[in-house]
Amino acid sequence: MNPRDLSDKTYLITGANSGIGKAAAQQLAARGAQVILACRSAERGAQAQAQITQATGNSRVIVLPVDLASQASIRAFCAQVNQQFTRLDGLIHNAANFDPSLKQALLTADGVETIFATNHIGVVLMTALLEDLLRASAPSRILTVASKGLLTYPFLDIEFDNLNGERRFSTQHAYYHAKLAQVMYTLSLAQHLQGSGVTVNCVRVTNVAIPDERLTHLPAWQRRLYQLKRRAAISPEQMARTYVYLISDPSVEAISGGYWDENNRQVQLNRSVANAATRARLWQVSRQMAGLED
């Protein structure tokens, strides 16, 4: 079999209706994989599905709706995945909320600040609910997604008294806080999954172009900032190649707990990630916030 052929694999990608997630879904579909697009909007998901199938000729592209800011939605979604699919070779936690128009912490129905809920707690819950399927499909892989922007926060640490923006809130802070939590969680999860044949790695996404249609909710000056940033950005397709590499390349199969850049190289972690006590506490607290019994 051609080593690039993935027709015996099933991958699930959250936020697969736009940007890097959609590009990664298309690259996996182009190699024959069955791909589950986990999308907040069924309509935007269906549009992406039609475009991917048309571009690749692969009709095994499925849309399932999920809102990562709702634990009830994640539970319903995972129940459907567990019922409908007999294997899962890769789970890509790509979706994220970065809404600079948020002026104050907005709590979800589960009582969690929306950005932390979507970008961290939702990932913890979805992973736990799909863990058995991933274990049964081993060797299988999980990919979490952080940001190169964390480099500009060298002293950022987990603020256990501010997980819901109780003490201070800005979109920027909540976003990087959740991304740092994802990096720490990746290391804890790698430890938790040791010996299971399920690996987990984290990719540090660099500056990737965001098209104008994703910016319409922003004031003009913020749109202008993004347009300027775009001049130095790489394309979603370029970044997606690293997702595909980490989730499918044979050379990564045995690596777990790695932190990677857009050039498929392992890179240094933020200083605070080294603190094992913080990682252990975050694991515990995140599971509680996700409604998982420990």
Ligand X SMILES: NC(=O)c1ccc[n+]([C@@H]2O[C@H](COP(=O)([O-])OP(=O)(O)OC[C@H]3O[C@@H](n4cnc5c(N)ncnc54)[C@H](OP(=O)(O)O)[C@@H]3O)[C@@H](O)[C@H]2O)c1
Of 29, 69, 81, 244, the one binding ligand X (CB under 6 A) is 69
Q: Is 243 a catalytic residue?
A: no
Q: Is the peptide bond before 154 cis (omega within 30 degrees of 0)?
A: no
Number of residues that bind ligand X (CB under 6 A): 29
Of 49, 56, 147, 186, the one binding ligand X (CB under 6 A) is 147
Q: Give yes or no for residue 21 binding ligand X (CB under 6 A).
A: yes
Q: Give yes or no for residue 28 binding ligand X (CB under 6 A).
A: no
Tell me whether residue 98 or residue 245 sits nearer to ligand X (CB atom): 98
Give buried/exposed letters for 200-237 (b at 16+ CB in 10 A, else e).
Answer: bbbbbbbbbbbeeeebeeeeeeeeeebeeeeeeeeebe
Residues 91-130 that bind ligand X (CB under 6 A): 94-98, 118
Of 205, 247, 269, 289, the one binding ligand X (CB under 6 A) is 205
Of 214, 217, 224, 271, the one binding ligand X (CB under 6 A) is 214
> Rounded to the nearest whole angstrom, what is the least distance from the CB of residue 162 to ligand X in the complex?
20
Positions touching ligand X (CB under 6 A) are 14-15, 17-21, 40-41, 44, 66-69, 94-98, 118, 145, 147, 149, 205, 207-208, 210, 214, 236
